[in-house]
Structure 1
Amino acid sequence: MVTKIFNNTKRAFSLKSDEELKKSLFIFRMMDKPIMVSIGTKLTNWSLKLHLPVEGLIRKTIFEQFCGGTSQEDCIPVMEKMYTKNVHSTLDFSVEGEENDAAFDAALATKIKLVEFAQKRKEIAFTVFKPTGIGRFAIWEKVSQKEKLTPEETAEWNRVKARVDKICKLAYDLDVKILADAEESWMQDAVDWLIEEMMEKYNKEKVIVYNTLQCYRWDRLQYLKDIHIKAKEKGYKIGAKIVRGAYMEKENERAEKLNYPTPICEDKEATDVNYNTVLYYSLQHLDDINLFIGTHNEVSAYLAMQHMDEMGYAKNDDRIWFSQLFGMSEHITYNLALNGYNTVKLVPFGPVRDVIPYLIRRAQENTSVKGQTGRELALLEEEQHRRDGQYVKRVK
């Protein structure tokens, strides 16, 4: 029987000073009000267009909550602090929305530096790249739809493949695990095909390359079973990062607009079942599938712990990692880590102005995910009450 561990707020927020706790409370109270998120988003975009000096305010509030710093070196104090509690890091350069080769080559250079940086830092367990960060969305989409490419597009696609291979080969050479983010379903097939090629190439002896499965897609369990068969036939191992997903509203709107069946599970309960089934299947085949469990869901985390116990896996088995986003679900992250499980925070970074699209999405997703902000807020308030009680006792 797995012991319930996630209600320990003293452990969860042990790294936060009283001032930092109050700041987090303020931010999540704002995000608990959809109208405030909507107004804040509009004001931020308006201020940026007018080049108003709002970056300092953003950095001191939402940026510090959800980002580790402006550069990889800037993140070192945050990573070292978390590592004292057995929490590893995955640095994610979170600049989005580029559309030209010069920007993609610059992003590639940044990812190369990150892999090299990770190899030297014991705090970093994984690196990550976003496929649309190193190639145009439209080219991924066209390849996914199996449309005929022009000669120029063929050359462009070859450059995209070369960038992916360069990142994965370096990760292999330096023995650094690397995650490929998931994208929208209508361009994800090209990502899947290319990352499968990388796994076949670099995951022969051990898992270096991981693909991301968004389990709000009802087809992901069958996809995993299919590539499992391929991997066994071709003699390589699978790296599977499993998440629930990030593009639900966009996916459903597009499916309705273009009149095709939505790739998304019918409701949250179906998504939860799908996620937990993919989780169980992966754990059943751990010799073939290494697992990166990206979840902010306590039930899924407890299920993983229970399955691990029943299957006889050690808590620190290097084939199983738990992960949450920086600034969220501290009660899951720190309690898992302090109970001996492999735990990693995904830590976004980048210049404040450049990561604002990520921060806006983070605020909007927290507001739209049922119960997410409320749960974060309740735990922060509980810790505040606990500390206030401790203060009262000291004064007495």
Structure 2
Amino acid sequence: MATRVIPPRILRKLRYNTATKPLNSSHPPLSPSLSPSPCLLPAPLPSPAVLRPSAAASDDLSFRDVEKLFSSVSTTSLLRSSAVLHATAVEPMVDFGTWLLRSNLMHVHGIRDLILATVRNTFFDHFCAGEDAITTAASIRHLNRAGLRGMLVYGVEDANDNDACHRNFKGFLHTIDVSRSLPPSSVSFVIVKITAICPMSLLERMSDLLRWQHKDPCFSLPWKQDCFPIFSESSPLYHTSNKPEPLTPEEEKDLQLAIQRFHELCHKCVQVNIPLLVDAEHTSVQPAIDYFTYSSAILHNKGDNPIVFGTMQTYLKDAKERLLLAAEAADNMGIPMGFKLVRGAYMSSETKLAESLGYSSPIHDTIEDTHKCFNDCSSFMLEKVANGPGGLVLATHNVESGKLAAAKAHELGIGKVNHKLEFAQLHGMSEALSFGLSNAGFQVSKYMPFGPVETVMPYLLRRAEENRGMLAASGFDRQLMRKELGRRLKAAVF
């Protein structure tokens, strides 16, 4: 997916106004301690437990036996995966590919078809599940035979009008139908991007208004319903420098349409009992995305097992505080809440935006700080789901974080029989970690976008650009693949 261009409106001085309408539901309203108040100081946040190395980590998660690790992968697949990962680790090749896919050559008949065919048979086949329901279902079944599950996502994002939102909404509904048609439990989650079902400009406006209300708790947002805390005291608010104007009647109408789309997706997932996971995006629209997620979780999450999951990007300095606040609010309301933890994928654009506005980056200053934040949040959530309701997805390609979380989960008794924990990696990435975790007794999913090549192209471009560091660091996987290919060659010769 292409790196998003920062909207010009964010780079200008913003001038825009807003109260909170109680949600008509069977759940109690937020307690006063969870509502903004200029007179109350926030209670001190509990310190999350820390993941610590353990002997169990190496016992649970081992990469020594490459034959066992790749036992479900054919030699042909291993060769192709190794070649694709090697190609994506060469930065000049990635630069050339992204240039080519954005060049005027894509408008030349014949050349465009050749480029798309090449992409389809290489990078698309490696990183995506398929172009339609049939090929996607086949990919999921193949994955399931290997002991893994699929997280299905219709590969669209960044809608600009209601027509595009409605088309995308139909695509997400179709994704749920595809998931329902597959063997039980082969699909762990259906993924939705709020940026695909609500116009981007409206998400920006909502985020401005939510930020201003955090600055001024007396600021009224008539459309706002019950919601867990979206911000912490350390959350960046520089996107909104001036008091925003209230949503216009047309914007409120568009908001209701977007909410209806999302609630219909939630309702359908409740019917088929497949969790719906909301992806995180960049900070200019994340407050609105969290609002959609949390207000819907209050409506749809019942019992011990959540249907609606949110995402926390732990490379953000405020991630731990926001996670603790949202989890505390969910507990106080008796709502089971699910979270996916990721490191994050918008480092370049976030830093550029902050610098353009004269602020420091919202992202941790060092990679070590990001690792610590991810591991601390993981430990906190592992203990939480082990001792109560809720769900956790640990989306990581970092082997050390995988080992630490596996050891912690082992100590807490969370394994394959416990549906509250899921590890996840991108389809086509970190295969050794995925198979290693699965062999260690954990549920593991692969994030699998699908759709026509032309539709999923922005996703592929963004993965190539934003994950170039991770792709370049895929040497661990490639080394293990080469070792297994060498073992198979030796076995065939001798």
Q: Same fold (TM over 0.5)?
A: yes
Structure 1 match to 2:339: 240
- For 1:202 and 1:5, how far apart are their aligned partners in 2? 39
Contact 2:129 2:450 in 1 (8 A): yes
Structure 1 match to 2:279: 181
Q: CA deviation at 1:277?
A: 0.4
1:294 partnered with 2:395: yes
Q: CA deviation at 1:352?
A: 1.1
Return the match for 1:37 from 81, 94, 107.
94
Structure 1 match to 2:417: 316
Contact 2:179 2:187 in 1 (8 A): yes
1:14 partnered with 2:71: yes
Structure 1 moving runs of 4+ over 4 Å: none
- For 2:175 and 2:293, how far apart are their aligned partners in 1? 19
* Within-5 A mapping of 1:153-232: 153-205=251-303, 206-232=305-331
- For 1:8 and 1:354, how far apart are their aligned partners in 2? 39
Contact 2:301 2:307 in 1 (8 A): yes
1:108 partnered with 2:206: no
Query: After alignment, is 103-112 or 177-186 more displaced?
Result: 103-112
Contact 2:310 2:339 in 1 (8 A): yes
Query: How much identity, in percent, do the aligned residues show?
Result: 28
Query: SS in structure 2 opposite 1:185?
Result: coil
Return the match for 2:488 from 359, 383, 387.
387
Structure 2 match to 1:132: 195
Q: CA deviation at 1:311?
A: 2.0
Q: 1:384 to 1:296 in 2, by over 3 A?
A: same
* Within-5 A mapping of 1:70-149: 70-121=131-182, 122=184, 123-146=186-209, 147=244, 148-149=246-247
Q: CA deviation at 1:45?
A: 2.3
Note the alpha carbon deviations across 1:213-250, whole angstroms, 9 max, x for none: 01101111111111122112211011101100010111
- For 1:288 and 1:301, how far apart are their aligned partners in 2? 22
- For 2:76 and 2:384, how far apart are their aligned partners in 1? 45
Contact 1:96 1:133 in 2 (8 A): yes
**Larger gyration radius, structure 1 or structure 2:** 2
Query: After alignment, is 302-311 or 381-390 more displaced?
Result: 381-390
Q: 1:124 to 1:388 in 2, by over 3 A?
A: same
TM-score by length of 1: 0.94
Note the alpha carbon deviations across 1:5-45, whole angstroms, 9 max, x for none: 13443344334333332222222222121111111211222
Q: CA deviation at 1:360?
A: 1.9
Q: 1:370 to 1:270 in 2, by over 3 A?
A: farther
Q: CA deviation at 1:306?
A: 0.8
TM-score by length of 2: 0.76
Structure 1 match to 2:426: 325
One-letter identity of the residue aligned with 1:178: L
- For 1:374 and 1:257, how far apart are their aligned partners in 2? 35
Q: CA deviation at 1:370?
A: 7.6
Structure 1 match to 2:38: none
- For 1:64 and 1:388, how far apart are their aligned partners in 2? 25
Note the alpha carbon deviations across 1:72-129, whole angstroms, 9 max, x for none: 2211222111111221111111133432211211111121122233233221111110
- For 1:139 and 1:223, how far apart are their aligned partners in 2? 23
Contact 2:157 2:193 in 1 (8 A): no
Q: 1:364 to 1:386 in 2, by over 3 A?
A: farther
Q: 1:107 to 1:180 in 2, by over 3 A?
A: same
- For 1:193 and 1:125, how far apart are their aligned partners in 2? 24
Query: SS in structure 1 opposite 2:135?
Result: coil
Return the match for 2:106 from 30, 38, 48.
48
Q: CA deviation at 1:294?
A: 0.6
- For 1:341 and 1:40, how far apart are their aligned partners in 2? 36
Return the match for 1:283 from 373, 377, 382.
382
Q: CA deviation at 1:160?
A: 1.3
- For 2:330 and 2:192, how far apart are their aligned partners in 1? 22
Q: CA deviation at 1:371?
A: 5.2
Q: 1:244 to 1:383 in 2, by over 3 A?
A: same
Contact 1:31 1:363 in 2 (8 A): yes
- For 1:289 and 1:153, how far apart are their aligned partners in 2? 34
Q: 1:58 to 1:15 in 2, by over 3 A?
A: farther
Query: SS in structure 2 opposite 1:240?
Result: strand
The size of the alignment, in residue pairs, is 393
Query: SS in structure 2 opposite 1:280?
Result: helix
Contact 1:243 1:294 in 2 (8 A): yes
Query: SS in structure 1 opposite 2:302?
Result: coil
- For 2:161 and 2:69, how far apart are their aligned partners in 1? 42
1:358 partnered with 2:459: yes
One-letter identity of the residue aligned with 1:260: Y
One-letter identity of the residue aligned with 1:144: S
**Structure 1 spans left out of the alignment, 5+ residues:** none
Contact 1:326 1:346 in 2 (8 A): yes
Q: 1:190 to 1:366 in 2, by over 3 A?
A: closer
Query: SS in structure 2 opposite 1:145?
Result: helix
Q: 1:370 to 1:331 in 2, by over 3 A?
A: closer
Structure 2 match to 1:368: 469
Query: SS in structure 1 opposite 2:285?
Result: helix
Q: CA deviation at 1:386?
A: 2.0
Contact 1:178 1:208 in 2 (8 A): yes
**Structure 2 spans left out of the alignment, 5+ residues:** 1-54, 210-243
Structure 2 match to 1:5: 62
